[in-house]
Each structure stands twice: as structure tokens, then as C-alpha cells.
A and B are shown apart, each in its own frame.
Chain A
Amino acid sequence: MTEVIAVTGLTKIYGTKRVVDDFDITVPRGAIYGFLGPNGSGKTTTIRMLCGLLTPDAGQGTCLGYDIRAQADRIKEQVGYMTQKFSLYEDLSIRENLDFIGRMYRVRDRGARVAAALDDLGLANRAGQLAGTLSGGWKQRLALAACLLHDPKLLLLDEPTAGVDPKARRDFWDEIRRLSGQGVTVLVSTHYMDEAVQCDRIAYIAYGKKLIDGPSADIPKQVGLETWRVEGPDLAALEVRVKTMPGIVQVARFGASLHVSGTDKQAFENTIETLKAEGTHRWSEQVAGLEEAFIYLMAGSRDNFAATEDKVGSS
């Protein structure tokens, strides 16, 4: 079995709103798969359906070889799910929390495993401290340790590093990389760009629909942005002016330069030619990177995506 997750047509409806709409995804074993999308786009709902916390209204598929509808219990035993909000018991100590999770998954050699987890965390001498008194970064590390206690084959991480400082985030990702190297599959939702670039594959979701899916390196091409870099005096004024010109879909500031992007090659190049002719700024063509692509995706509305998809389809 090389596919850890293979689902098609996954749909969840709340009232009249299709929170997740006809969602397909295939996640190969050992991959780090990123779920990207704005708040409320259905990332959390999708993850919950994959691990059996929510029953899909339509769609089917397997997770770890078990049917997501009928065998949720089996899936739960082999999945480590880290919730968006800290969801261990704040009025239990660190050790009591790990012990509780160990019992829940019927971990063998529980005492030794908990002690090892405490050592790995560097919390062995604070094991009696209440979990609620830990800082955000420590809570996140404890939560990760708790979901790894039973050696899950699949990790579902729902915005795991929200509110965590950059150093802790880097450590966190080192750990994820290490696990992935050991064959653990990781599915992580995020809206941090620097986390997205850590993923092997990326699915971009908005309004419950998956709009883009592929290896991270291919994402800029899929989005289809043409980008030029501009340097020179008074970029702020230029930014305001350029934004409204034909063919320009995005102007993003990168330090002392602007990255001007467009998707309609013809219109975009005409505008760039006009601007270059003014001779006030230095223009250079740029290969669109993941960052431009994400800024574009995050900022865009549904109609823009529809246009993008058409373009991707026709090129």
C-alpha cells in the first residue's frame, strides 16, 4: 500500500453551506502534504472527516487502508491528530496527560514510553506541572509528543504552529521532517508561507473546493503567474499606480523591490512595456516563486480562481 489516504468526492454540508465540496485527495506514504487556504475554507472539516470525527455527507475512500465511513475506529487507533486548539487537559499535569493518552491507545510499556517522551521533551523535571500553566510553544510540543505516543502511521496536524515563536516552529518542522524520513505520513494544514514551502506536496483549498494540487515545486507554474521585479525611487507611489493598470493582478513588496505579477500574458506584457518605457525604474523579469503564488492565492477571490483554473486547463 503506497497510498495512505485515497478519498474521492468528500462533501460536508452544514445547513445549506457546502463546507467541503467534492474533495479528492491521494496522499502517498511518507509524504508531507500541506493543506493551504484561508480561514473557513474547510481545511479543518476535511481533516476531521479523514480521521472519523465527522461523517461525510457524500464521498468515500480509505485512510490507512480502512474505509473512512465504516472503520473509523480502526483509523483512530493509527492516527495521531493534533487539534488546532490545545486540547489536552489543562488541569492535569504533563505526566498525567501523557499517561491518559497512553492508556487511551493501550500503548505497550506505557510507563517507559511516557518517561521517554518526557525526556525527549526535556520536561522530565517538570512532569508534575499542570499542562495549563505551560506557554504556547511548550503546549504545542506536549501536544505533538502526546499524538506520537502510540507510534501513529499518519499524523494529522491542524494549524499546529499557530501562535508559536519562529525558533519553536523551526524545531517543530525538524521533528516533522525526521518523522517523515521514518515513513510517517504527515498531513498538515497551515496558512504560513514558510511552512508551506516545507511540504512535499500542496493542496490549496478555498470555499471547500480544492483548487490546486501538486508537488510544491510545480505550484507557481500551475498558478501561471508572470512576474517582473522593479527597483527604484518612490515605490509606494508606483505600487498604487501599477495596481490599477490592465493585466496586473498582484503587486507585492519584497524588501526594497516590488514584484509585479499578471496572469494574462499579452495584457501584462503590454503594460510592462509601457512602464519600462517611462525609464524611471529598473525592471527585470523574474521566475515566479512559491511566495508570489501564495500571496496571489491567499488574496484572490473565487472568481479569480475560476479564471486561473481555466488558464491552467488551457495551457
Chain B
Amino acid sequence: MSSMFSIGRFAAVLIKEFIQMRRDRVTFAMMIGLPIVQLMLFGFAINADPRHLPTLIELGDNGPITRAVIAGMQNSDYFDFLGTVGGEAEGNEALRQGGANFVVVIPPNFERDVMRGHRPEVLLDADASDPSAVGGAAGALGGIVQVAISETFNGPLAGIVSPPPPFSVIVHRQYNPEGKTSTNIVPGLLAIILSMTMVMITAVAIVKETERGTMEMLIATPVRPLEVMLGKILPYVFVGYVQTIVFLSAAYLVFNVPFEGSKLAFFVGFNLFIVVNLALGFLISTAARSQMQAMQLSFFTILPSILLSGFMFPFAGMPGWAQFLGQGVPATHFLRITRKVMLKGAETGDIMPEMGALVVTLLVVSAIAMLRYRQTLD
């Protein structure tokens, strides 16, 4: 029966795609170069807990306690002291110009007031136009000062220091004890890189046929839609494998990101995610009329992957409607799989909810794509 799937025709499309891929050096370089470049950029450049922030100091007093406070701040790595300012106006100007992120103000008679138990106030003027830049440092300051002062007062003066609070809170940083940003970013980044390249390359690969006029020849042959779809998609599954291998090696060697969980769970989730992305790319290609449009539509899917998936911002911190939208983004689920498996040591059973969500997405997207793919030029 002629309407059956032909291995020969499928192989013809597959071979052709591989030849074309090999000849298109720019795309090929992008496939391999992109994961490495992104990994380096995101892994090294992004830091959610920044240190060494430029700081100025306004000295209203000078003595052993003041020096202890300053030394304590410097030792914390959060603050890099650039120098002193003469008064409030000078400090404000430095903040406004961006010369410093902090101005520490030690009030006049600070030493004497401390001795007398008057509890004087140390002012930390912060440039909060970027809250994430100053949040960590400002939060750490109270503790730093406390420690610095208690070390200064020992012996008979120890009573000046306020007694410790009656209880203490212990934060146990699980899965990422050092709080390293790269440990969080790197596994998530794989989801972003795969969605970017897989969706874009597939979308463009099919539109290219329409744009160059080769689609007319292709569908004038007895080839079936499924043969075209599979033949065009499989080479890019291969690309996804190469990207992931490059990525995981770099993550392990450069950033020491652990891989705690089941490799099988990762492998299954990863394959499913690739197929979802390819189907999405195929769907885009059925709607786009030119490669340019395909690129634009791909970007339309990439932005939510970055912003709504929990990659850049904590998922639980988003408003309900944004979380609802984020659930529809495939990267959201794969991101959870990679973090669960790589950092939390998850097994296959642990990632079932995410796998379920990806399967549903795959079914919906492929159904629409197959309905939209035309075997005619109508």
C-alpha cells in the first residue's frame, strides 16, 4: 500500500538534513558554541549574593570600637572601603553618581555613647536602586557589627554588650551549602539552552524549505508528512545530545556542579524535553512564512522560558497568574527535573509530576503541528 510509511524516504530526508547541517557552518558553530558561551557567562558573571561592593565611610569619631567595626566589615568581603567622606552631602553625591554602593556613617561621640550604654546608631546609607545588589550586604551588617563589638569588649567591659537573644535561628542551606549562585543557575541553564536552540533550529529548518522554494518539489514527491517530520527532527535530537554532553562536562569540570541523582531519570526527562521542544519548533514552522518570522516566534517562546520558568526568579515568588502561565512552559518542568536530579539526588519516581506535565504538552503541541502541516500548498 502506497500510503504506508517508507523507511527509504524517511532515510532520504534524514541524510539530506545531516548533509545540510554539516555544510551550514554558522548553525553548527552555534549549536556547539552556544552552550559553552552561555555557561561561562551565566556561571561566572551572574551572582545573586554580590560581594566586594564599593563603600565610603563618614567618620564622626575614631577609636578602637570604630576601627573594630570597620575591620569587621572589611573581613566580611561584602564591603570594600574606598575612603572617607567629609559630610552627608559628599556621601549622597557619591551614591547618586554611583561611585559607591554604601556610605557608612559613624556618628560623633560614638565611642563615648557606646561606653555609656546609650546604644548609638550606625547609619548604613545604601543605593537600593538595585535591591539585589545591596540586600545581602545590608542583611549581614548587623551581625558583623555585633561580632566586632563583642570582640572589643572583654574583661570588665563585657557587660556593655547587650545580652544575646533568648533563642537563635539556624538556617540549614540544603543542596547548596555554600549558597553558590552557579550551583543554582547551571542546571537551570541547560533547560534554557536546549529550548533556545532546539526550538529555533527546528522552526527555521522547515521554513527554509518553504522560503527557498524546495518545499514545492518536496511535496510534489510521494513523501508523507510523518516521514518529513521525523526525518527533519531526528538530526536535531542528535544536536541536543551533543549540546548536553558538552554542557554537563563543562558544568562538572568548571563549576563543580554535583550530579547527585539517578542518571536514568535525567536521561528520560532530557529526551522527553528535547522532543517537546522539537515539536514546538515544528509547530512554529507551520505558522511562520519566513525564516525571520520563525526566529521571532521562537523568541516568543524563549522569553517565558527564561522569565517564567523559575530560571531567573524563584517560581514560588511569582503571582498566581504568572505561575499558571509558567506551568505551560516546558522549560519550567525540565528545570525542576535537572535541579531535582543534579542537586537533590532525585530518582525516576521523584520526577513523575514533571514528566506528566511534559507528556501533556507534547501531545497537545504535536497534535496541533500535525493538523497544521500541509501536504499541499493551500
Q: Which residues of A approach B to under 8 Å, CB–CB?
A: 48, 51-55, 72-74, 76-77, 79, 81, 83, 85-92, 96, 99-101, 103-106
Name the residue in A73, A86, A89 with the highest tally of chain B Cβ atoms < 10 Å from its Cβ. Answer: A89
- Select A104's contact among B24, B222, B375, B376, beta carbons within 8 Å: B222
Tell me how far the C-beta of B254 lies from the nearest C-beta in chain A, rounded to whole angstroms.
Answer: 35
Contact string against A for B residues 206-224, beta-carbon threshold 8 Å, 1 for contact and 0 otherwise:
0000001110110111110
**B2: A residues at CB distance < 8 A:** 73-74, 77
Q: When the two chains form their complex, are residues B220 and A106 in contact, meaning their CB atoms are under 8 A apart?
A: no
- Select B220's contact among A76, A90, A96, beta carbons within 8 Å: A76
**B19: A residues at CB distance < 8 A:** 91-92, 96
From known contacts A52-B376, A53-B376, A87-B213, infer whether A100 and B12 are also in contact, taking CB-CB under 8 Å: yes
List 18 interface pairs A-B (beta carbons < 8 Å), by A numbering: A51-B220, A54-B377, A54-B378, A72-B375, A72-B376, A81-B220, A83-B213, A85-B216, A86-B213, A87-B212, A87-B214, A89-B20, A89-B214, A91-B23, A92-B19, A96-B19, A104-B223, A106-B9
**A100: B residues at CB distance < 8 A:** 12, 15-16
Q: When the two chains form their complex, are residues A88 and B376 in contact, meaning their CB atoms are under 8 A apart?
A: no
Question: Top 7 A-B pairs ranked by shortest CB distance?
Answer: A103-B12, A87-B217, A104-B221, A81-B220, A76-B222, A85-B213, A87-B213
Q: When the two chains form their complex, are residues A73 and B20 in contact, meaning their CB atoms are under 8 A apart?
A: no
Q: When the two chains form their complex, are residues B217 and A83 in contact, meaning their CB atoms are under 8 A apart?
A: yes
Tell me if B174 counts as interface (CB < 8 A to partner A): no
Tell me how far the C-beta of B150 lies from the nearest C-beta in chain A, rounded to whole angstroms.
Answer: 73
From known contacts A53-B216, A103-B8, A103-B11, infer whether A91 and B20 are also in contact, taking CB-CB under 8 Å: yes
- Select A53's contact among B24, B212, B214, B219, beta carbons within 8 Å: B219
Which chain B residues (1-29) contact chain A, with CB distance < 8 Å?
Answer: 2-3, 6, 8-9, 11-12, 15-16, 19-20, 23-24
- Tell me the bound Cα distance from A213 to B222 in angstroms: 31
Q: When the two chains form their complex, are residues A91 and B24 in contact, meaning their CB atoms are under 8 A apart?
A: yes
- Tell me the bound Cα distance from A196 to B57 in angstroms: 93
- Tell me the bound Cα distance from A77 to B9 in angstroms: 13
- Select A55's contact among B212, B221, B222, B378, beta carbons within 8 Å: B378
Name the residue in A54, A101, A105 with the highest tally of chain B Cβ atoms < 10 Å from its Cβ. Answer: A105
Tell me how far the C-beta of B210 lies from the nearest C-beta in chain A, rounded to whole angstroms.
Answer: 11
**A88: B residues at CB distance < 8 A:** 214, 217
Q: When the two chains form their complex, are residues B222 and A73 in contact, meaning their CB atoms are under 8 A apart?
A: yes
Supplied contacts A81-B217, A101-B221, 12 more A-B pairs, CB within 8 Å = A53-B216, A53-B220, A53-B376, A79-B220, A83-B213, A83-B216, A87-B212, A87-B213, A87-B216, A91-B19, A100-B12, A100-B16
Tell me how far the C-beta of B229 lies from the nearest C-beta in chain A, rounded to whole angstroms.
Answer: 15
- Select A105's contact among B11, B16, B221, beta carbons within 8 Å: B221
- Tell me the bound Cα distance from A194 to B364 in angstroms: 55
Contact string against A for B residues 360-378, beta-carbon threshold 8 Å, 1 for contact and 0 otherwise:
0000000000000001111
Residue of A nearest to B12 (CB): A103
- Tell me the bound Cα distance from A81 to B214 in angstroms: 12
- Tell me the bound Cα distance from A55 to B11 in angstroms: 28
Tell me how far the C-beta of A92 lies from the nearest C-beta in chain B, rounded to whole angstroms.
Answer: 6
- Tell me the bound Cα distance from A72 to B375 in angstroms: 10
Residue of A nearest to B2 (CB): A73
From known contacts A88-B214, A92-B19, infer whether A53 and B377 are also in contact, taking CB-CB under 8 Å: yes
- Tell me the bound Cα distance from A77 to B4 in angstroms: 13
Tell me how far the C-beta of A65 lies from the nearest C-beta in chain B, rounded to whole angstroms.
Answer: 14
**A55: B residues at CB distance < 8 A:** 376, 378
- Tell me the bound Cα distance from A70 to B221 in angstroms: 16
**A51: B residues at CB distance < 8 A:** 220
Q: When the two chains form their complex, are residues B9 and A104 in contact, meaning their CB atoms are under 8 A apart?
A: yes
Tell me how far the C-beta of B224 lies from the nearest C-beta in chain A, rounded to whole angstroms.
Answer: 8
From known contacts A54-B378, A73-B3, A85-B213, infer whether A92 and B220 are also in contact, taking CB-CB under 8 Å: no
- Tell me the bound Cα distance from A81 to B220 in angstroms: 7
Which chain B residues (238-265) contact chain A, with CB distance < 8 Å?
Answer: none
Tell me how far the C-beta of B291 lies from the nearest C-beta in chain A, rounded to whole angstroms.
Answer: 14
- Select B222's contact among A77, A96, A99, beta carbons within 8 Å: A77
Tell me how far the C-beta of A68 lies from the nearest C-beta in chain B, rounded to whole angstroms.
Answer: 12
- Tell me the bound Cα distance from A74 to B376 in angstroms: 14
Tell me how far the C-beta of B6 lies from the nearest C-beta in chain A, rounded to whole angstroms.
Answer: 7
From known contacts A87-B214, A89-B20, A104-B9, infer whether A54 and B376 are also in contact, taking CB-CB under 8 Å: yes
**B222: A residues at CB distance < 8 A:** 73, 76-77, 104-105
**A86: B residues at CB distance < 8 A:** 213
- Tell me the bound Cα distance from A74 to B2 in angstroms: 7
Name the residue in A48, A53, A105 with the highest tally of chain B Cβ atoms < 10 Å from its Cβ. Answer: A53
Q: When the two chains form their complex, are residues B24 and A106 in contact, meaning their CB atoms are under 8 A apart?
A: no
- Tell me the bound Cα distance from A52 to B16 in angstroms: 24
- Tell me the bound Cα distance from A76 to B219 in angstroms: 9
**A72: B residues at CB distance < 8 A:** 375-376
**B24: A residues at CB distance < 8 A:** 91
**B213: A residues at CB distance < 8 A:** 83, 85-87
Q: When the two chains form their complex, are residues B16 and A96 in contact, meaning their CB atoms are under 8 A apart?
A: yes
**B20: A residues at CB distance < 8 A:** 89, 91-92
Residue of A nearest to B6 (CB): A106
- Select B9's contact among A85, A87, A103, beta carbons within 8 Å: A103
**B16: A residues at CB distance < 8 A:** 89, 92, 96, 100
Tell me how far the C-beta of B235 lies from the nearest C-beta in chain A, rounded to whole angstroms.
Answer: 14
- Tell me the bound Cα distance from A74 to B12 in angstroms: 20
- Tell me the bound Cα distance from A208 to B358 in angstroms: 49
Tell me how far the C-beta of A90 lies from the nearest C-beta in chain B, rounded to whole angstroms.
Answer: 7
- Tell me the bound Cα distance from A72 to B376 in angstroms: 10
Tell me how far the C-beta of B133 lies from the nearest C-beta in chain A, rounded to whole angstroms.
Answer: 48
Residue of A nearest to B227 (CB): A104
Tell me how far the C-beta of A52 lies from the nearest C-beta in chain B, rounded to whole angstroms.
Answer: 7
Residue of A nearest to B10 (CB): A103
Q: When the two chains form their complex, are residues B377 and A106 in contact, meaning their CB atoms are under 8 A apart?
A: no
- Tell me the bound Cα distance from A91 to B16 in angstroms: 10
**B8: A residues at CB distance < 8 A:** 103, 106
- Tell me the bound Cα distance from A35 to B11 in angstroms: 37
